[in-house]
Amino acid sequence: MGAADIVPGVSGGTVALVLGIYERLIRNVHAGAHVLKEALRGRFSEVGPSIRKVEWLWLVSLLAGILVAVAALSSVLERLLEEQPVRMAALFFGLVAGSIVVAWRLVRRKTWIEFAVMLVVALALFLVLGLRSDTESDAAEVVTRSPWVFFGAGAIAICAMILPGISGSFILVMLGMYTEVLGAVNDRDFASLGAFMLGCVVGLALFSTVLNWALEHHHDVVMSAMIGLMLGSLRVLWPWPGGTDTTDLAAPSGDVVVPILLAVGGAAVVLTVELVATRLNDA
């Protein structure tokens, strides 16, 4: 799951489905979030019973494995993003494009409402991303490295990381925080990483219940909105002219064949993983 979570477009939730641990993971995540909420509300008499509902050994072992994978792969991905920006952007583009197909299959009822929500969200985000500056000033870099920015990114991304078909790392790309988080891991920037992890914890505690309710009562609309976010954010991953460092759009040029093959291969990987997950669930 850690290897999946660090790659934009590959959903850790989907990998959990393939491994047959998704329902157990969600059950423990909700139980852990309930512990935090009771503690924050000052209902300490309820904390003890809630703690006992969490399979701590299993959950900590899973989280440890995820963290080890992230630490091991972050330096490789950061170096590749610097040395091969166009090819890496193409790979991520294919991974996310495949994830869009996977996520769309999760929409149970496909009416004009779902299509409208998806298209409006996609268009709005596409236009907003076009306003993003291609170059960052020193002040902007300071803001990006602010612990509060890492905190907010963690709180938002963690909600996507537990959903099948939705990539938490892609949410970080959309927020402009993917390379920042990778850099913090490689630089051992524990202040930023601590803020990010705290954001993940708070995000689970505050949003998991809301997200669970929204998916239960308005599943198709919520999923359509998320797919719209993914579609609109493809602007960030368009390989040309310079990978993920710019939101400008240009026609393919120079190195074309390899990026196209990587994009197709990335989409094929995601669709294959989803196919395996579906067959295992149906078995």
Query: Domain boundaries in the chain?
Result: 2-282
Confidence of residue 138 (pLDDT cuts 50, 70, 90): very low
State the pLDDT at residue 164.
Answer: 61
Rounded Cα distance, 36 and 206, in Å: 9
> Looking at the predicted structure, is the pLDDT value of residue 52 above 60?
yes
User: How many Å apart are CA 148 and CA 151, to the nearest integer?
Assistant: 5
Higher-scoring residue by pLDDT: 8, 117 = 117
What's the pLDDT score for residue 134? 46
Closest by CA to 240, choosing from 231, 228, 252, 232, is 252
Highest mean predicted confidence (pLDDT) among 14-23, 27-36, 95-104, 168-177: 95-104
Looking at the predicted structure, is the pLDDT value of residue 140 above 60? no
Question: Model confidence at 136, in pLDDT bands (50, 70, 90)?
Answer: very low
pLDDT at 195 over 90: yes
pTM above 0.75, yes or no: no
pLDDT digits (tens, 9 = 90+) for 229-275: 888 878 877 888 666 666 677 777 777 899 999 999 989 988 888 88
Could you count the other beta carbons within 10 Å of the beta carbon of residue 175? Answer: 18
Checking if the pLDDT of 139 tops 50, the result is no
Instruction: Enumerate the H helices of 41-146 as residue ranges.
Output: 44-51, 56-83, 85-105, 112-129, 138-144
Per-residue pLDDT tens over the stretch 205-233: 777 667 667 777 888 898 898 888 888 87
Residues in the chain: 283
Task: Judge whether residue 21 has pLDDT over 80.
Answer: no
Between residues 276 and 281, the one the model is more confident about: 276
What is the reported pLDDT for 117? 93
pLDDT band at 19 (very low <50, low <70, confident <90, very high): low
Which of residues 17 and 169 earns the better pLDDT score? 169
